[in-house]
DNA sequence: GCGAATTCCGAAAAGGTTTTCCTCAAAGTA
DNA sequence: TACTTTGAGGAAAACCTTTTCGGAATTCGC
């Protein structure tokens, strides 16, 4: 059912001039009254506020942004198809800026450099106050450019250019944390099954895990890190391999929650209890996997909201003149659940 | 490492005036040259274009939006924490508008009405051209308001107000489609295990499934629809129930991919082969579940990208004066994989 | 060589807001 | 009463772009 456009109730949004006229004052006074500036008497102020309310006046942010130094818009440039990363980061940034103070313009480049350049151009022409760039995988990515007119923060995936500012999760300490937790719950013989070795994150997590083991005087079960792919299927086949090669394994540190899922499945299939016989901990703390798995999966959370929040803070600081460069690592967080804590 | 703000290379972005001055023409001429308007000689045009390139001039979209009728920004107001819905819809909308022609301002209300109102206000003050509202669950939700100055399209979750325009997935035909497919692959005795019965979508999918079964003269295995919750755990327990109550089931239509996951797990646990003994089809086509499951899971896709694309089209049409109202159902799509087609 | 037609270009307004500076009136002081 | 101080309110500029309309310069036809 289609109908011709009815005359919209307010064919034109009310402007400050309309408010001023209704209140019987000048535009300047109306502006001052609405913005809580001085040099306006109390009675005049209420008159103006009433007029504004009556017209349901809403200031034109475009005009404000045109005049002001800040527009109150930040761009979020992502290549993360699923939104798995961008959304938490977005929410953290929103929190840090404060609701209503800043809006986020979200662009997905879909891994395409051309599209990214286009989006970048659009964002700059919209005069965003700053830019957060979120990569799809946690490895260094090309810089979007050195001499942009606005500050840029790279989140999750660092920039290849050391003169940019990047925020990443500290995967080394995350790996440490996982092993430390397994030790704390009394495990001694643990394997590490993880994803694609070409990912820096996989290497870092393994490095942290090995370092912690070494410090505790323990050896890695199976004698090596099982690198493979970030899939449940790999979790399954690696676990089969592990079980056939080694005995007495009492814990597995999986490089992702998906892998952990495959690990648990296979352990169950072999008649082993989790965590009774083997404790399992994942990485990412992806709710959808950690809570639906039987038993609920312990995991390491990368604190993506915090990443977003800090990104927002760094952006604000940069606008205030405090520029930083280099890669900043933010700590992960342990989320223990029943797959490691039997009780 | 922090350093004082270096003098930014271009402390102020180049304006049209700068371009005009460098090209030795007036602002008006520069504008016409850049926008491909007439009344500019070819030589002047190239001069201006060169000047613009040299200054890396980028028009101020704020100023453009201030003067033009359209700003080229649409707001996406969501309550979908995970981004599971918003992102595909966003991508579809982006596709329909064309990259670079329209930007999307994304706001997450997190299910909070106050926050939603705040975001709405912000979006309106930024003079968005239109609004797409995405609900968290596919049931009617309160309208954001009747007399907004911009067109609004509700996607996924329809508005309670029939005078709004809503786009939803056709869950009834989706349910039909699933059953139809199971019949096509030779199944005769199928059960339906689905989620929370308070969800309209659960009811609709069941309705479609039952209608198709009736038309084919078949009965539902187990004698009833297994309503429960949208969890893997429910998929497991419902399947145990089903297996203990009925024999000869050769197919299960699960109301979501997560439920399907639990169903398959339990079938495997009972020594049954999928799809050899029992074929399983899910709903949502959530990649992360459908491809990691062994075997890969057939599913019904709600075509969220299409939803976003159509939303964008309806918004454009509304801006052109062609307003519509009511609820528009968009078809789902079958994605067969190995859990139903033994290959 | 002169009026008319044709191009090309520029001045100026509009779009909505904020801020600076100025004026004017009222209140206070000598 | 005359002068200063204080405080309220307004005019106008600035932010940057697009578009309209009029003016100027060139070309063309005769």
Kindly state the greatest CA–CA separation across chain A: 87
Measured between alpha carbons, how far is A91 from A94 in angstroms, rounded to an integer?
Answer: 5
For the four alpha carbons of B262, B267, B269 and B274, in that order, the dihedral sign comes to negative
Contact residues on chain A for B124, CB-CB shorter than 8 A? 58
The answer to whether B283 and B254 have CB atoms below 8 angstroms apart is yes
Please answer yes or no on whether A87 and B90 come within 8 Å at the CB atom. Answer: no
- 3-class secondary structure per residue, B277-337: CCEEEEECCCHHHHCCCCCCCEEEECCHHHHHHHHHHHHHHHHCCEEECEEEEECCEEECC
Structure tokens at B330: 């968009």
Please answer yes or no on whether B288 and A258 come within 8 Å at the CB atom. Answer: yes
**Cis, bond preceding B182 (omega within 30 deg of 0):** no
Contact residues on chain B for A122, CB-CB shorter than 8 A? 61, 100, 103
For the four alpha carbons of A156, A159, A160 and A161, in that order, the dihedral sign comes to negative
- Spacing of B36 CA from D28 C1' in Å: 28
pLDDT class for B8, splitting at 50, 70, 90? very low
A123 touches chain B (CB under 8 A): yes
Q: Which nucleotide is nearest to B64 (CA to C1')?
A: D17
Query: Residue A122: phi, psi to the nearest 5?
Result: -60, -45
Please answer yes or no on whether A292 and B261 come within 8 Å at the CB atom. Answer: yes
Interface A–B counts its CB contacts (< 8 A) at 180
Measured between alpha carbons, how far is A97 from A85 in angstroms, rounded to an integer?
Answer: 19
Q: How far does chain B reach from its first CA to its final CA, in angstroms?
A: 59
Instruction: List per-residue pLDDT tens for chain A, 343 residues long.
Output: 333 333 343 467 899 999 999 999 999 999 999 999 988 999 999 999 999 999 999 999 999 999 998 999 999 999 887 778 888 998 899 899 887 788 999 998 888 999 999 999 999 999 999 999 999 889 999 999 988 999 999 999 999 999 999 999 999 999 999 999 999 999 999 999 999 999 999 999 999 999 999 999 999 999 999 999 999 999 999 999 999 999 999 999 999 999 999 999 999 999 999 999 999 999 999 998 999 888 999 999 999 999 999 999 999 999 888 999 999 999 999 999 999 997 5
Phi-psi category of B64—alpha, beta or left, where left has phi over 0 and alpha has psi -120 to 50?
A: alpha
Distance of CA B264 to the CA centre of its chain: 27
Q: How open is the CA angle A111-A257-B138, to the nearest 5 degrees?
A: 70
For the four alpha carbons of A167, A170, A171 and A177, in that order, the dihedral sign comes to negative
Burial grade of A27 (CB within 10 A; 0-12, 13-18, 19 or more): middle
Q: What is the pLDDT of residues A91-139, one digit of tens each?
A: 899 899 887 788 999 998 888 999 999 999 999 999 999 999 999 889 9
| Residue A163 CB coordination number (10 Å) | 10
Please answer yes or no on whether B106 and A105 come within 8 Å at the CB atom. Answer: yes
Question: pTM of the entire structure?
Answer: 0.91
């Amino acid at each position: 059912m289609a109908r011709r456009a009815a005359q919209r109730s307010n064919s034109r949004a009310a402007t400050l001039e309309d408010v001023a006229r209704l209140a019987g004052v000048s535009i300047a006074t109306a502006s001052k009254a609405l913005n809580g500036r001085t040099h306006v008497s109390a009675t005049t102020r209420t008159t103006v506020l009433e007029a504004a309310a009556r017209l349901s006046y809403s200031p034109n942010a475009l005009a404000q942004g045109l005049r002001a130094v800040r527009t109150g818009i930040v761009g979020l440039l992502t290549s993360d198809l699923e939104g798995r990363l961008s959304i938490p980061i977005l929410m953290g940034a929103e929190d840090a800026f404060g609701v209503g103070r800043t809006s986020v313009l979200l662009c997905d480049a879909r891994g395409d450099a051309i599209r990214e350049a286009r989006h970048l151009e659009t964002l700059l022409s919209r005069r965003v106050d700053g830019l957060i760039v979120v990569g799809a995988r946690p490895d260094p990515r090309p810089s979007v450019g050195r001499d942009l007119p606005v500050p840029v923060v790279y989140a999750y995936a660092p920039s290849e250019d050391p003169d940019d500012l990047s925020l990443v999760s500290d995967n080394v300490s995350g790996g440490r944390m996982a092993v430390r937790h397994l030790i704390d719950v009394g495990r001694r013989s643990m394997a590490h099954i993880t994803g694609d070795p070409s990912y820096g994150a996989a290497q870092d997590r393994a490095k942290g895990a090995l370092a912690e083991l070494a410090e505790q005087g323990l050896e890695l079960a199976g004698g090596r890190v099982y690198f493979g792919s970030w899939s449940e299927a790999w979790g399954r086949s690696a676990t089969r391999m592990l079980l056939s090669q080694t005995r007495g394994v009492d814990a597995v540190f999986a490089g992702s929650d998906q892998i952990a899922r495959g690990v648990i499945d296979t352990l169950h299939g072999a008649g082993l209890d989790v965590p009774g016989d083997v404790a399992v901990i994942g990485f990412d703390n992806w709710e959808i996997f950690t809570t639906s798995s039987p038993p609920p999966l312990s995991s390491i959370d990368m604190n993506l909201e915090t990443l977003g929040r800090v990104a927002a803070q760094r952006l604000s600081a940069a606008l205030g003149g405090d520029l930083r460069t280099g890669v900043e690592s933010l700590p992960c967080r342990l989320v223990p659940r029943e797959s490691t804590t039997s009780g």
